[in-house]
Structure 1
Amino acid sequence: MYVHFAEEDNTTYYLALHQMTDNPFHLLEDHSKDSSILNLASGILSDEQFYIIFLFIFFTSQLINICAIIANILSIAVFVKLGFLEPSNISLITLALCDFTLAVLFTWNNLCIWLTYHNVRLPFHGENVTFLTGGAQSAFLSCTVAWITAFISFERCLCILVPLKVRRLITPRGTSLAMLIIILLTFCPSFSIYIRYKFVWVFNQYLNITILNTIPDNSEFAILFEKISIVIFGVTKPFLAFSIVLICTMLLVVQLRKISSWRMSVTSAKTQPVVIEQNPAASSSAVEVRISQKEERLVRMVVAIASVFIVSYIPTCILLLCYVVFDDFNQFGVYKRLFIVSGYIVSLGQPIGGSVNILIYYKMASKFRSVFRRLVRLDRQEQERRELE
């Protein structure tokens, strides 16, 4: 960071106007564009319409984010108590950690934007600084969540299709390494945004204060680097992860139906009870059936998690397509107001998914349910209630 005095800088003058005006959405207007285009953009969403939508989405989003934070804290605590001997626990706790961080980033983004729009004097430019300290990171972290979900789905797919070969590879150490690689390749590139945008201290002569702001690096290298990063990390990788989750989920559903049909045929074919103690072959078969039933429950849980992810991530895919197709549909373009509203609506999906996952774990994983009940003392409360009765 460095100090930048810009008494005649357009940004400083622009900030001063924003602080002095009664219109909290003055910051959303881009005065560098043609006025006719601005009128067209303003006609899509008026100040009153935008404000009503913003209020509703803000409070709804904050409530969902708080629920997601609490739910993922509980999930992390349960998985820690379960231990990391099971590879699935490692991937699921990593997913919970990412969902928790994502909810925190969304909460920070919402709070800063809310204070900025209500003319609260902050020591930084709320919108621009938030973009570099939470907005970009949350976008990349969404990609991390997508790839972790893709890994979980793909791993379950392989366990059903080629169980003997995969079980040698799916180990706690291998899963931990896979999680580390996914984070390095998806979330860490978010810091590349600082190549295009820099933090600066700007003196505002109208308010007589120095605030933290950002300026873009308009060099050819920085612009080209940003475009390549958006195409690779913002569009290609999320779509690829989404496709993997979708394909693997479809394969898992097909396999589950085959397993269910096979169980029904085996059950209907049984005409006499089998004494397991006197028949070692039957005992071995019973063990295989028991293991497959346990595996089936885990697969059903993964299908449920993947299904929630698919439903919550479809709006993000649509927004990414619009971001790529329409040049002015971004946080700095003419349709900035519409982009912000769309972004807020889309951002509701992922915290909802992070909140719902704990219900899936509780419903479908008996060990998780048992540890969770002990953690929140539900078993003790139920026992005390029975003793009172």
Structure 2
Amino acid sequence: MYVHSTEEDTTSRYPALDQITDNPLHLWKDQSKDSFMLTLASTFLTDEEFYIILLFIIYTLQLINICAIIANSLSIAVFVKLGFSEPSNISLTALAICDFTLAVLLTWSNVSFWLTYHNVRLPFHSANVYFLTGGTQWAFLSSTVAWITAFISFERCLCILFPLKVKRLITPKGTFISMLIIILLTFCPSFFTYIRYKFVWEFNPYLNITILNTIPVNSEFAILFEKINILICGVIQPLLAFSTVLICTVLLVVQLRKISSWRMSVTSAKSQRVQSEENPASGSSAAKARISQKEERLVRMVVAIATIFIVSYIPTCIVALCDVVFDEFHLFGVYRRLFIVSGYIISLGQPISGSVNILIYYKMASKFRSVFRRLVRLDRQEQERHELE
């Protein structure tokens, strides 16, 4: 009986998987038209390096996904208990729901790669089927998160610039309608992907069975429609949302500094207190001071959320631009390995952002902290501990 050597067992695995040309992890090196991208794909991503990097990212990503699912579930529960009389609760709930859904889709992505990596024999092509049942939805939902964050930042800008008119400008009903419009314009176009790609049953000679697979539709209309859809929804919308968040965050920081310095000058001048009591016209200034002080903590919370989003979303913008510049930079293209690795790397930012948000809410929002402690029974545990002592 022939026995494989230890060296053969550790090295034969990767070529065996790479020789399966219909496997989504296979790299078509002889079809490259770009020498730079081919060099990048072949030199820096060998078979073994490719799988090791992906496995490390996926296991790390899954741990973060679990944290994001738990954190956003708790956030949604707290906001439901707080009610939706405040417009900010509606937008933050929508953000938590989207972050929760993103974590679920990323979990399905990890499962899909694990099945493909271990060559699990299933009646469907796990990685390609995931492309139409989770990958596309994740990409467009990321744009939805970007626009919700942009809306929250813009809403706080209005609160700073027009503190006395903000209740008329921003209402719970208006915020709810805005969330529906954002979802309609950013997430729903993901279903247009089914014009370019479709599910088919095809015979797999390697498995010797008929499996469910995803194939591209190579009609001129489908290809043109996909390019337009990717350009508008996959590039222009995310970059515009990112720019909006960035501009609003800068404005919020500048206005916060102005308000803080103005409040310090007012409180330090005793003579102005006397003038405010004697001069009725200064009542509006006092009202502005009270409103600004009341909103300041919420604004700081929004700045923290937006800052984390900006940091985590920069790689997504870079990959979106690469998708437009390089024609073969997609799941079914020559540079599929670079596309997969970069996709998993940028996907780390979303669950991290979703996991950290609950810490920001807890730290900066007293009502959220109070309801959260009651929800997880922290207050009762502390009370029982004090009674025992």
Q: TM-score, normalised by structure 2?
A: 0.89
User: CA 1:317–1:39 in 2, change beyond 3 Å: closer, same or farther?
Assistant: closer
What residue in structure 2 maps to residue 296 of structure 1?
A: 296
**In the TM superposition, what are the counterparts of 1:48-67 in structure 2 within 5 Å?**
48-67=48-67
Shift of 1:283: 8.6
Amino acid at match of 2:79: F
Shift of 1:163: 2.9
| Contact 2:160 2:292 survives alignment (8 Å) | no
My pick for the range that moved more, 280-289 or 213-222, is 280-289
Amino acid at match of 2:358: I
Shift of 1:211: 1.3
Write the deviation string for residues 29-88 of structure 1: whole angstroms up to 9, x where unpaired. 344843897974322211111122112101100000110000000000000000010000
- Residue 237 (1) aligns with residue 234 (2): no
What residue in structure 1 maps to residue 266 of structure 2?
A: 266
**In the TM superposition, what are the counterparts of 1:345-360 in structure 2 within 5 Å?**
345-360=345-360
Shift of 1:336: 1.4
Rounded Cα–Cα distance in structure 1 between residues aligned with 2:38 and 2:178: 50
Shift of 1:157: 0.6
The number of equivalent residue pairs is 370
Amino acid at match of 1:144: T
Rounded Cα–Cα distance in structure 1 between residues aligned with 2:17 and 2:349: 30
| Contact 1:24 1:119 survives alignment (8 Å) | no
| Contact 1:24 1:117 survives alignment (8 Å) | no
User: CA 1:221–1:32 in 2, change beyond 3 Å: closer, same or farther?
Assistant: farther
User: CA-atom RMSD, angstroms?
Assistant: 2.6
Rounded Cα–Cα distance in structure 1 between residues aligned with 2:342 and 2:249: 27
Task: Tell me the SS of whatever aligns to 2:211.
Answer: strand
**Unaligned 5+ runs, structure 1:** 1-18
Shift of 1:117: 1.1
Task: Tell me the SS of whatever aligns to 1:328.
Answer: coil
**% of aligned pairs identical?**
77
What residue in structure 2 maps to residue 117 of structure 1?
A: 117
My pick for the range that moved more, 91-100 or 109-118, is 109-118
User: CA 1:252–1:138 in 2, change beyond 3 Å: closer, same or farther?
Assistant: same
Amino acid at match of 2:17: N
User: CA 1:388–1:288 in 2, change beyond 3 Å: closer, same or farther?
Assistant: farther
Shift of 1:205: 4.9
My pick for the range that moved more, 210-219 or 180-189, is 210-219
What residue in structure 2 maps to residue 29 of structure 1?
A: 26
Rounded Cα–Cα distance in structure 2 between residues aligned with 1:345 and 1:21: 24
Rounded Cα–Cα distance in structure 2 between residues aligned with 1:239 and 1:216: 27
What residue in structure 2 maps to residue 323 of structure 1?
A: 323
User: CA 1:272–1:330 in 2, change beyond 3 Å: closer, same or farther?
Assistant: closer
Amino acid at match of 1:129: V
Amino acid at match of 1:34: Q
Amino acid at match of 1:330: H
What residue in structure 2 maps to residue 47 of structure 1?
A: 47
| Contact 1:153 1:303 survives alignment (8 Å) | yes
Shift of 1:386: 1.3
- Residue 136 (1) aligns with residue 130 (2): no
Shift of 1:294: 1.5
Rounded Cα–Cα distance in structure 2 between residues aligned with 1:353 and 1:151: 17
- Residue 377 (1) aligns with residue 377 (2): yes
Rounded Cα–Cα distance in structure 2 between residues aligned with 1:279 and 1:207: 87
Rounded Cα–Cα distance in structure 2 between residues aligned with 1:295 and 1:213: 53
My pick for the range that moved more, 90-99 or 202-211, is 202-211
- Residue 84 (1) aligns with residue 84 (2): yes
Task: Tell me the SS of whatever aligns to 2:210.
Answer: strand
Shift of 1:277: 11
- Residue 126 (1) aligns with residue 126 (2): yes
| Contact 2:17 2:26 survives alignment (8 Å) | no
Task: Tell me the SS of whatever aligns to 2:164.
Answer: helix
Write the deviation string for residues 112-165 of structure 1: whole angstroms up to 9, x where unpaired. 111111111122101111011000000000000000000111111112112334
Q: TM-score, normalised by structure 1?
A: 0.89
User: CA 1:374–1:283 in 2, change beyond 3 Å: closer, same or farther?
Assistant: farther
Rounded Cα–Cα distance in structure 2 between residues aligned with 1:20 and 1:44: 16
**Unaligned 5+ runs, structure 2:** 1-12
